[in-house]
Amino acid sequence: MQQPELPSYDDVVRASERLAGNAHRTPVLTSATANAVAGAQVFFKCENFQRMGAFKFRGGYNAIARLTPGQRAAGVLTFSSGNHAQAIALASRLQGVQATIIMPLDAPAAKRAATEGYGGKIVTYDRYTEDREDIARRIQAETGATLIPPYDHADVIAGQGTAAKELFEEVGELDYLFVCLGGGGLLSGSALSAYALSPRCLVYGVEPEAGNDGQQSLRKGEIVRIQAPKTLADGAATTHLGHLTFPLIQKYVRDIVTVKDEQLVSTMKFFAERMKMVVEPTGCLAASAVLQNVVPVRGARVGVIISGGNVDLASYARLLAS
Ligand SMILES: *Cc1c(COP(=O)(O)O)cnc(C)c1O
Protein backbone atom coordinates (compact mmCIF):
# COMPACT_ATOMS: atom_id res chain seq x y z
CA MET A 1 0.00 0.00 0.00
CA GLN A 2 1.20 3.52 -0.75
CA GLN A 3 2.48 5.44 2.28
CA PRO A 4 -0.01 8.16 3.24
CA GLU A 5 1.23 11.75 3.60
CA LEU A 6 1.46 12.32 7.35
CA PRO A 7 0.86 15.72 8.96
CA SER A 8 3.83 17.40 10.64
CA TYR A 9 4.32 19.90 13.46
CA ASP A 10 4.33 22.66 10.82
CA ASP A 11 0.74 21.70 10.06
CA VAL A 12 -0.08 22.07 13.77
CA VAL A 13 1.43 25.57 13.73
CA ARG A 14 -0.65 26.51 10.65
CA ALA A 15 -3.73 25.12 12.38
CA SER A 16 -3.07 27.19 15.50
CA GLU A 17 -2.97 30.32 13.30
CA ARG A 18 -6.37 29.43 11.81
CA LEU A 19 -7.81 28.72 15.27
CA ALA A 20 -6.54 31.94 16.87
CA GLY A 21 -9.57 33.99 17.88
CA ASN A 22 -11.94 31.18 16.86
CA ALA A 23 -11.22 28.42 19.38
CA HIS A 24 -10.79 29.11 23.09
CA ARG A 25 -7.29 29.02 24.44
CA THR A 26 -8.41 26.76 27.29
CA PRO A 27 -7.03 27.11 30.82
CA VAL A 28 -4.33 24.94 32.36
CA LEU A 29 -5.37 24.12 35.91
CA THR A 30 -3.50 22.58 38.81
CA SER A 31 -4.63 21.01 42.08
CA ALA A 32 -2.58 20.54 45.24
CA THR A 33 -4.62 17.40 45.95
CA ALA A 34 -3.89 15.97 42.50
CA ASN A 35 -0.20 16.70 42.99
CA ALA A 36 -0.26 14.95 46.38
CA VAL A 37 -2.07 11.91 44.96
CA ALA A 38 0.35 11.57 42.02
CA GLY A 39 3.45 12.66 43.94
CA ALA A 40 4.16 14.87 40.96
CA GLN A 41 3.44 18.28 39.49
CA VAL A 42 0.36 17.81 37.29
CA PHE A 43 -0.89 20.31 34.70
CA PHE A 44 -4.41 19.74 33.39
CA LYS A 45 -5.18 21.19 29.94
CA CYS A 46 -8.93 21.68 30.17
CA GLU A 47 -10.54 21.02 26.79
CA ASN A 48 -13.82 20.41 28.61
CA PHE A 49 -13.94 24.23 28.46
CA GLN A 50 -13.42 24.30 24.68
CA ARG A 51 -16.23 25.55 22.43
CA MET A 52 -18.97 22.88 22.16
CA GLY A 53 -17.35 21.19 25.16
CA ALA A 54 -14.48 19.17 23.67
CA PHE A 55 -11.18 19.44 21.78
CA LYS A 56 -12.92 18.18 18.61
CA PHE A 57 -13.78 21.77 17.73
CA ARG A 58 -10.09 22.32 16.93
CA GLY A 59 -9.78 19.61 14.29
CA GLY A 60 -13.20 20.27 12.79
CA TYR A 61 -12.61 24.00 12.48
CA ASN A 62 -9.18 23.50 10.93
CA ALA A 63 -10.43 20.97 8.37
CA ILE A 64 -13.24 23.28 7.25
CA ALA A 65 -10.92 26.30 7.10
CA ARG A 66 -8.74 24.36 4.64
CA LEU A 67 -11.53 23.77 2.09
CA THR A 68 -11.41 25.46 -1.32
CA PRO A 69 -14.21 27.91 -2.19
CA GLY A 70 -15.81 25.24 -4.40
CA GLN A 71 -15.74 22.68 -1.58
CA ARG A 72 -17.17 25.19 0.90
CA ALA A 73 -20.09 25.89 -1.44
CA ALA A 74 -20.90 22.16 -1.66
CA GLY A 75 -20.90 21.73 2.13
CA VAL A 76 -19.46 19.08 4.44
CA LEU A 77 -20.68 15.74 5.64
CA THR A 78 -19.86 13.45 8.54
CA PHE A 79 -21.28 10.53 10.47
CA SER A 80 -21.17 10.66 14.24
CA SER A 81 -23.56 11.04 17.11
CA GLY A 82 -20.95 12.36 19.48
CA ASN A 83 -18.66 15.33 19.92
CA HIS A 84 -17.38 15.26 16.34
CA ALA A 85 -20.92 15.90 15.04
CA GLN A 86 -21.28 18.95 17.27
CA ALA A 87 -17.81 20.15 16.33
CA ILE A 88 -18.52 19.93 12.60
CA ALA A 89 -21.92 21.58 13.01
CA LEU A 90 -20.54 24.54 14.97
CA ALA A 91 -17.32 24.95 12.96
CA SER A 92 -19.36 24.89 9.73
CA ARG A 93 -21.84 27.47 10.92
CA LEU A 94 -19.04 29.81 12.02
CA GLN A 95 -17.48 29.55 8.56
CA GLY A 96 -20.72 29.79 6.56
CA VAL A 97 -20.65 26.18 5.34
CA GLN A 98 -23.64 23.79 5.28
CA ALA A 99 -23.03 20.65 7.39
CA THR A 100 -24.92 17.38 7.05
CA ILE A 101 -24.55 14.93 9.92
CA ILE A 102 -25.55 11.29 9.49
CA MET A 103 -26.78 9.93 12.83
CA PRO A 104 -28.44 6.71 13.92
CA LEU A 105 -32.21 6.97 14.49
CA ASP A 106 -31.70 5.98 18.12
CA ALA A 107 -29.02 8.60 18.90
CA PRO A 108 -29.73 10.31 22.25
CA ALA A 109 -32.21 13.17 21.84
CA ALA A 110 -29.88 15.57 23.67
CA LYS A 111 -27.08 14.94 21.17
CA ARG A 112 -29.41 15.45 18.21
CA ALA A 113 -30.71 18.65 19.72
CA ALA A 114 -27.19 19.97 20.41
CA THR A 115 -26.10 19.24 16.84
CA GLU A 116 -29.23 20.86 15.39
CA GLY A 117 -28.77 23.78 17.75
CA TYR A 118 -25.39 24.46 16.13
CA GLY A 119 -27.08 24.50 12.72
CA GLY A 120 -26.23 21.00 11.49
CA LYS A 121 -28.68 19.24 9.15
CA ILE A 122 -29.33 15.74 10.46
CA VAL A 123 -30.01 12.72 8.27
CA THR A 124 -30.97 9.65 10.27
CA TYR A 125 -30.52 5.97 9.43
CA ASP A 126 -31.46 2.66 10.96
CA ARG A 127 -28.30 1.13 12.46
CA TYR A 128 -29.69 -2.38 12.05
CA THR A 129 -30.78 -2.27 8.41
CA GLU A 130 -28.86 0.56 6.74
CA ASP A 131 -25.19 1.27 6.15
CA ARG A 132 -24.13 4.79 7.02
CA GLU A 133 -21.33 4.71 4.47
CA ASP A 134 -23.84 3.97 1.69
CA ILE A 135 -25.87 6.94 2.84
CA ALA A 136 -22.75 9.13 2.93
CA ARG A 137 -21.85 8.07 -0.62
CA ARG A 138 -25.38 8.85 -1.83
CA ILE A 139 -25.32 12.33 -0.28
CA GLN A 140 -21.84 12.95 -1.65
CA ALA A 141 -22.98 11.94 -5.12
CA GLU A 142 -26.00 14.24 -4.90
CA THR A 143 -24.34 17.30 -3.35
CA GLY A 144 -20.57 16.98 -3.84
CA ALA A 145 -20.16 17.52 -0.08
CA THR A 146 -16.73 16.81 1.47
CA LEU A 147 -16.59 14.05 4.06
CA ILE A 148 -14.73 15.02 7.24
CA PRO A 149 -13.94 11.93 9.33
CA PRO A 150 -13.48 12.19 13.11
CA TYR A 151 -9.78 11.31 13.36
CA ASP A 152 -8.08 9.85 10.29
CA HIS A 153 -7.56 13.11 8.40
CA ALA A 154 -4.40 15.25 8.29
CA ASP A 155 -6.18 18.57 8.97
CA VAL A 156 -8.16 17.06 11.85
CA ILE A 157 -4.97 15.65 13.44
CA ALA A 158 -3.14 18.98 13.01
CA GLY A 159 -6.04 20.85 14.64
CA GLN A 160 -6.16 18.45 17.59
CA GLY A 161 -2.41 18.95 18.10
CA THR A 162 -2.93 22.61 18.96
CA ALA A 163 -4.17 21.84 22.50
CA ALA A 164 -0.84 20.25 23.51
CA LYS A 165 1.03 23.04 21.70
CA GLU A 166 -0.72 25.57 23.94
CA LEU A 167 0.04 23.47 27.01
CA PHE A 168 3.80 23.34 26.33
CA GLU A 169 3.86 27.05 25.47
CA GLU A 170 2.24 27.80 28.80
CA VAL A 171 4.08 25.50 31.20
CA GLY A 172 7.33 24.67 29.38
CA GLU A 173 8.86 21.25 28.92
CA LEU A 174 7.32 18.24 30.62
CA ASP A 175 8.53 14.75 31.56
CA TYR A 176 5.25 13.07 30.64
CA LEU A 177 2.14 13.85 28.62
CA PHE A 178 -1.00 11.71 28.99
CA VAL A 179 -3.66 11.79 26.29
CA CYS A 180 -6.88 9.79 25.89
CA LEU A 181 -7.08 7.52 22.87
CA GLY A 182 -10.01 6.64 20.65
CA GLY A 183 -9.10 6.70 16.97
CA GLY A 184 -5.92 8.60 17.75
CA GLY A 185 -6.50 12.08 16.31
CA LEU A 186 -5.83 13.82 19.62
CA LEU A 187 -2.95 11.52 20.59
CA SER A 188 -1.09 11.73 17.28
CA GLY A 189 -1.52 15.52 17.03
CA SER A 190 -0.42 15.94 20.66
CA ALA A 191 2.64 13.77 20.02
CA LEU A 192 3.68 16.02 17.11
CA SER A 193 3.59 19.02 19.45
CA ALA A 194 5.42 17.18 22.23
CA TYR A 195 8.20 16.04 19.90
CA ALA A 196 8.70 19.59 18.63
CA LEU A 197 8.38 21.53 21.89
CA SER A 198 9.54 19.07 24.56
CA PRO A 199 11.49 16.34 22.78
CA ARG A 200 12.34 14.33 25.90
CA CYS A 201 8.70 14.20 27.03
CA LEU A 202 7.29 10.67 27.20
CA VAL A 203 3.85 10.63 25.55
CA TYR A 204 1.35 8.00 26.71
CA GLY A 205 -2.00 7.12 25.17
CA VAL A 206 -4.74 5.99 27.55
CA GLU A 207 -7.57 3.71 26.42
CA PRO A 208 -10.53 2.08 28.14
CA GLU A 209 -9.58 -1.46 29.14
CA ALA A 210 -12.54 -2.91 27.25
CA GLY A 211 -11.42 -1.25 24.02
CA ASN A 212 -7.62 -1.64 23.97
CA ASP A 213 -7.26 -1.99 20.21
CA GLY A 214 -4.63 0.76 20.19
CA GLN A 215 -2.49 -1.07 22.75
CA GLN A 216 -2.86 -4.32 20.80
CA SER A 217 -1.97 -2.50 17.56
CA LEU A 218 1.19 -1.01 19.05
CA ARG A 219 2.28 -4.43 20.39
CA LYS A 220 1.53 -6.20 17.11
CA GLY A 221 2.94 -3.54 14.77
CA GLU A 222 -0.25 -3.38 12.70
CA ILE A 223 -3.75 -1.95 13.07
CA VAL A 224 -5.85 -4.40 15.10
CA ARG A 225 -9.66 -4.21 14.74
CA ILE A 226 -11.96 -5.11 17.62
CA GLN A 227 -15.72 -5.38 18.16
CA ALA A 228 -17.37 -2.15 19.38
CA PRO A 229 -16.39 -2.17 23.09
CA LYS A 230 -18.78 -1.65 25.98
CA THR A 231 -17.36 1.14 28.12
CA LEU A 232 -18.44 4.34 29.86
CA ALA A 233 -15.81 6.08 27.71
CA ASP A 234 -18.12 6.38 24.70
CA GLY A 235 -15.84 8.91 23.00
CA ALA A 236 -13.08 6.30 22.90
CA ALA A 237 -15.25 3.32 21.92
CA THR A 238 -13.63 3.20 18.48
CA THR A 239 -12.81 -0.16 16.92
CA HIS A 240 -9.50 0.67 15.22
CA LEU A 241 -6.81 3.31 14.74
CA GLY A 242 -6.43 5.15 11.42
CA HIS A 243 -3.95 4.86 8.57
CA LEU A 244 -2.56 8.28 9.49
CA THR A 245 -2.88 8.12 13.27
CA PHE A 246 -1.27 4.69 13.68
CA PRO A 247 2.14 5.45 12.08
CA LEU A 248 2.35 8.73 14.03
CA ILE A 249 1.58 6.87 17.27
CA GLN A 250 4.18 4.19 16.42
CA LYS A 251 6.76 6.87 15.82
CA TYR A 252 6.14 9.32 18.67
CA VAL A 253 4.21 7.60 21.46
CA ARG A 254 6.08 5.81 24.24
CA ASP A 255 3.29 3.40 25.18
CA ILE A 256 -0.45 2.89 25.47
CA VAL A 257 -1.99 1.95 28.83
CA THR A 258 -5.55 1.13 29.83
CA VAL A 259 -7.90 2.07 32.66
CA LYS A 260 -11.08 0.45 33.93
CA ASP A 261 -14.50 2.09 33.96
CA GLU A 262 -14.47 2.20 37.81
CA GLN A 263 -11.27 4.24 37.64
CA LEU A 264 -12.94 6.68 35.24
CA VAL A 265 -15.79 7.13 37.70
CA SER A 266 -13.36 7.80 40.59
CA THR A 267 -11.58 10.41 38.50
CA MET A 268 -14.88 11.98 37.45
CA LYS A 269 -15.80 12.31 41.13
CA PHE A 270 -12.38 13.78 41.90
CA PHE A 271 -12.85 16.48 39.25
CA ALA A 272 -16.36 17.29 40.48
CA GLU A 273 -15.49 17.36 44.16
CA ARG A 274 -11.99 18.82 44.21
CA MET A 275 -11.72 20.89 41.06
CA LYS A 276 -15.41 21.80 40.59
CA MET A 277 -15.34 20.59 37.00
CA VAL A 278 -17.74 18.56 34.90
CA VAL A 279 -15.70 16.06 32.88
CA GLU A 280 -17.25 13.32 30.74
CA PRO A 281 -16.07 9.73 31.36
CA THR A 282 -13.93 9.69 28.20
CA GLY A 283 -12.38 12.96 29.31
CA CYS A 284 -11.16 11.23 32.49
CA LEU A 285 -9.02 8.61 30.72
CA ALA A 286 -5.67 10.44 30.73
CA ALA A 287 -6.07 11.77 34.27
CA SER A 288 -6.97 8.29 35.54
CA ALA A 289 -3.62 6.92 34.39
CA VAL A 290 -1.91 9.50 36.62
CA LEU A 291 -4.28 9.72 39.60
CA GLN A 292 -4.75 5.94 39.84
CA ASN A 293 -1.02 5.28 39.47
CA VAL A 294 -1.29 3.24 36.27
CA VAL A 295 2.01 4.82 35.21
CA PRO A 296 4.23 5.90 38.14
CA VAL A 297 5.25 9.54 37.70
CA ARG A 298 6.67 10.40 41.14
CA GLY A 299 8.69 13.62 41.16
CA ALA A 300 7.94 14.43 37.51
CA ARG A 301 6.32 17.32 35.66
CA VAL A 302 3.24 15.81 34.05
CA GLY A 303 0.78 17.10 31.46
CA VAL A 304 -2.75 15.67 31.23
CA ILE A 305 -5.26 16.55 28.55
CA ILE A 306 -8.86 16.57 29.74
CA SER A 307 -10.60 15.98 26.43
CA GLY A 308 -14.24 16.92 27.01
CA GLY A 309 -17.12 17.69 29.34
CA ASN A 310 -20.28 16.73 27.48
CA VAL A 311 -22.37 14.49 29.70
CA ASP A 312 -25.98 13.52 29.91
CA LEU A 313 -26.83 15.08 33.28
CA ALA A 314 -29.02 12.21 34.48
CA SER A 315 -26.33 9.59 33.92
CA TYR A 316 -23.66 11.95 35.29
CA ALA A 317 -25.66 12.38 38.50
CA ARG A 318 -26.16 8.63 38.74
CA LEU A 319 -22.42 7.95 38.38
CA LEU A 320 -21.50 10.65 40.94
CA ALA A 321 -23.92 9.13 43.44
CA SER A 322 -22.62 5.59 42.86
C1 LIG B 1 -13.32 11.96 20.27
C2 LIG B 1 -12.99 12.02 21.69
C3 LIG B 1 -11.90 11.32 22.22
C4 LIG B 1 -11.02 10.43 21.36
O5 LIG B 1 -10.31 11.17 20.40
P6 LIG B 1 -9.59 10.48 19.17
O7 LIG B 1 -9.01 11.60 18.39
O8 LIG B 1 -10.62 9.70 18.41
O9 LIG B 1 -8.56 9.55 19.73
C10 LIG B 1 -11.61 11.47 23.56
N11 LIG B 1 -12.36 12.25 24.37
C12 LIG B 1 -13.43 12.94 23.91
C13 LIG B 1 -14.19 13.79 24.86
C14 LIG B 1 -13.78 12.85 22.55
O15 LIG B 1 -14.83 13.55 22.10
Residue 271 CA, ligand 1 centroid: distance in Å: 18
| Contact yes or no for 44/29 (Cβ under 8 A) | yes
Does residue 304 contact residue 285 with C-beta atoms inside 8 Å? Answer: no
Residue nearest to atom 3 of ligand 1 (CA): 235
The predicted structure's pLDDT at residue 33: 98
Cα-to-centroid distance, 21 and ligand 1 (Å):
23
CB 281 within 8 A of CB 234: yes
Q: Kindly report the number of other CB atoms within 10 A of residue 54's CB atom.
A: 27
Predicted TM-score of the model (pTM): 0.96
Q: How far is the CA of 142 from the centre of ligand 1 (A)?
A: 30
* Buried/exposed 117-137: b ≥16 CB within 10 Å, e otherwise: ebebebbbbeeeeeebeebbe
Neighbours of 111 (CB within 10 A): 20
* Ligand 1 atom nearest residue 181's Cα: 9
Per-residue pLDDT, 93: 97
pLDDT of 7: 98
Catalytic residues: 56, 81
Residue 56 Cβ inside 6 Å of ligand 1? The answer reads yes
Would you state the pLDDT for residue 105? 87
| Residue 2: per-residue pLDDT | 61
In tens digits, the chain (322 residues) has pLDDT values of 567 799 999 999 999 999 999 999 999 999 999 999 999 999 999 999 999 999 999 999 999 999 999 999 999 999 887 899 999 999 999 999 999 999 988 887 888 888 999 999 999 998 888 888 889 999 999 999 999 999 999 999 999 999 999 999 999 999 999 999 999 999 999 999 999 999 999 999 999 999 999 999 999 999 999 998 999 999 999 999 999 999 999 999 999 999 999 999 999 999 999 999 999 999 999 999 999 999 999 999 999 999 999 998 999 999 999 9
Ligand 1 pocket residue status of 83, Cβ below 6 Å = yes
